Structure 1
Amino acid sequence: MLVSACFRKLTRQLAARRPNTQGFFLELTGAFQIGACTHELLLLAGLPPRPHVALALTYVCTALHGWTLSDSVNNPASSFHLLFRGRIVVRAWWLQLSAQFTGAMLAKMYIKLIWLLGMTARHSRALVQTCSSPLQTTVVHAFILELLFSFLFHLTLLQFEAMSHKTKVHLAALLITTLVYAGGHLTGAIFNPALALSLHTSCFLDKFWNYVLVYWIAPCLGSVLVVVLWDDVLPLMRARV
C-alpha cells in the first residue's frame, strides 16, 4: 500500500498535464495495490478464529482501498459499467482496462518476490502451491453468483452516489465483506476480472474458459445489467405509475 501511495503521488506530480497518462498510472497502481493486498489477505484468511479474522481483514483492507484509491476505478467490470452509462469513451475504457490488468499482474510478480524472501513459513508454502481453485461449486452456479455479486455491488454504488465519500467507503466495505461471507467459500466472491487473474493465474491456464466465464464475463454482465435496470427499466416503471 505504501509503494502504491508513493507512486500515485509521483504520478500526479509528473503527469499533471497529461490526463490520459495520469489516468493510466492511477489505474495501474490502484489494481496493483488491491492485488498485492489481496494476495496477503488470502494467506492470513486461515488464521483462527475463522472466519472472523478473514472478514475483519476484508473490511479493513476494503475501507483502506476506498480511502486511498478514490480517484481510480480499479475494476474492469466497473469500467465496463461506466462505458455503458456513457461516462467514459471507448479509448478511456481501453486505457483503464489495460492499466488494471497490467497492475494486477505486476502485483502477482511483486508478491512472489516478497514471498521468495521467506519471511514466514506461510510465504514459503505459498510459493509451491499451484492452482488453489476458488471454484467450489458448478460453473453455472458460480457464474450466477459472480454475476449477482457484481450486480448488487454496482447497484448499491449507484444508490450511494449522493452520499459523502466517508460514508460510501464504509458502506461499500460492509457490502463487500457481506458478499465475501455469503459466497467466498463457493467462488471467492471476487467480481473483479483483473484481481481474479492475478490471484488465480495458474487456474486460468488449467481451465481457461470456465474461469473466463465465471470471473470475467459474469461480473461485466452484472455491471451492465445494472445500467439497463437503472437507466431503462426503472425510469419506464416510474413513468407508468
Structure 2
Amino acid sequence: INKVTFAPLVVSTLFILLTSLLAHCARRVVQKVIKEPFLRLLFEEAIAAAELCGCCFELIVVADNFGVATYAIFLFALTIWWSLNWGDATGCPYTHIEDVIEGKGDIRKAFLKTWAELTGGILVFKYVQMYWALEISDTHKDKAFEDCKADLQVPVIYGAVVEGIATCLCRLASKSLGDLNPRFATAIDSFIGTSLVVAAFDYSGGYFNPVLATSLKAGCEGHTLLEHAVVYWIGACAGSILSVYLYKLPAIQKYVRGPSVANGDSIWADKED
C-alpha cells in the first residue's frame, strides 16, 4: 500500500476510534449520573445506536475506497468491541420485539427503546457530517453534502427476503452461542454476522438492523420510504420473529441442549475434554 492510499485509511480508522472512544466516555457518564435503571438503559441504547451508525457511516467510505474485504475486517473487530462494551443495550429494535414475544419485556418499553435508538442513530449524522466537511482526506471530498444512493440492488421483495433470512440466521447463531457458551463465542458470533453482511452486500447492503438502515439510507435515491420500510424494517423484524419460533423447534433444541461426547480439545467453556 502506498502513502496516497494508506493515509485516507488511517483517517477513517482514527475517526472510527474517536467515535468509539466518545461513545465509551458517554456511557461511563450515563452510568455515573443516571441512577434509574430503565432511563439509564434508554440513554445507553441511544449511545449504542449513535456509535453503531457513526462508525458504519465511515465504513461505507472504507468499503467504497478500499474494498469489501477491508470493510469486513473493520466490521469484525467493531462487532467484537460492541459486544464487549454495550452491556444490556443492543442498538437494534427487533431484539425488543423478541423480548415481548418471549415475555421478557412489554410493548411500551420496546417502543421507548426503539425511539431512543432512532434518536441516537439519526442525530449522529450531524457529527459525521461535521467531520466529513473538514475533508481531511480525499475520500471525504464532497462527502458531507452529496446525495446518497440506496444499497438495494434487487427488487423490493427479494431485498426483504435477503434481510429477513440473514437476520434470522444471525439471531439463531447468537441464541445458540448464548446457550452453548463456547470459548470465543463473541468472536464466532462476530464472524458469522460479518460473513452474512458480506454475503448480502451486493443485494440489500446487508444491514440486518432497521435503525442502522434508517440512519444510513432512509430517503436515499433508489428506493421510496415505503420500500425502505418493507426491506429493512419488515424484512429484518420478520426474520427476527421467525428465529424465536425456529429456535424452539425440537430439532434445534436437541442440537443445542443435547448430550455431547468429549473428543479432543473442546472449545466449549463449560465442558471438560
- What is the TM-score when the length of structure 1 is the normalising length? 0.90
| 1:43 aligned onto 2:55 | no
| Cα separation, 2, equivalents of 1:172 and 1:204 | 33
| Cα separation, 2, equivalents of 1:169 and 1:204 | 36
Q: 1:223 aligns to what?
A: 240
Indicate which of 159, 166, 178 corresponds to 1:161: 178
Q: 2:158 aligns to what?
A: 141
For these two proteins, the number of residue pairs brought into alignment is 235
Q: Which has the larger radius of gyration?
A: 2
Runs of at least 5 residues in structure 2 that lack an aligned partner in the other structure = 1-19, 255-273
The structure-2 alpha-carbon separation of the partners of 1:136 and 1:91, relative to structure 1 and needing over 3 Å to count, comes to same
| 1:80 aligned onto 2:127 | no
Q: 2:250 aligns to what?
A: 234
| Cα separation, 1, equivalents of 2:22 and 2:76 | 21
Which fold has the larger relative contact order, with Cα–Cα distance below 8 Å and residues 6 or more apart in sequence? 1
| Cα separation, 2, equivalents of 1:145 and 1:43 | 23
| 1:189 aligned onto 2:216 | no
| Cα separation, 2, equivalents of 1:140 and 1:224 | 18
Q: 1:59 aligns to what?
A: 76
Higher normalized helix content (fraction of residues): 1
Indicate which of 97, 106, 109 corresponds to 1:92: 109
More deviation in 18-27 or 111-120? 111-120
Whichever residue aligns with residue 152 of structure 2, its letter is L
Deviation at 1:190, TM superposition (A): 0.3
| Cα separation, 1, equivalents of 2:87 and 2:125 | 22
Paired-residue identity, %: 23
| Cα separation, 2, equivalents of 1:204 and 1:24 | 32
CA contact (8 A) 2:150 2:222 kept: no
Q: Please state whether the residue corresponding to 1:147 is helix, strand or coil.
A: helix
| Cα separation, 2, equivalents of 1:37 and 1:71 | 20
Q: 1:130 aligns to what?
A: 147
| Cα separation, 1, equivalents of 2:99 and 2:152 | 28
Indicate which of 102, 105, 121 corresponds to 2:138: 121
Whichever residue aligns with residue 92 of structure 1, its letter is K
Deviation at 1:3, TM superposition (A): 1.1
Deviation at 1:164, TM superposition (A): 4.9
CA contact (8 A) 2:65 2:139 kept: no
| Cα separation, 2, equivalents of 1:44 and 1:237 | 40
Runs of at least 5 residues in structure 1 that lack an aligned partner in the other structure = none
| Cα separation, 1, equivalents of 2:60 and 2:214 | 14
- What is the TM-score when the length of structure 2 is the normalising length? 0.80
The structure-2 alpha-carbon separation of the partners of 1:205 and 1:108, relative to structure 1 and needing over 3 Å to count, comes to farther
| Cα separation, 2, equivalents of 1:74 and 1:109 | 18
| Cα separation, 1, equivalents of 2:177 and 2:161 | 24
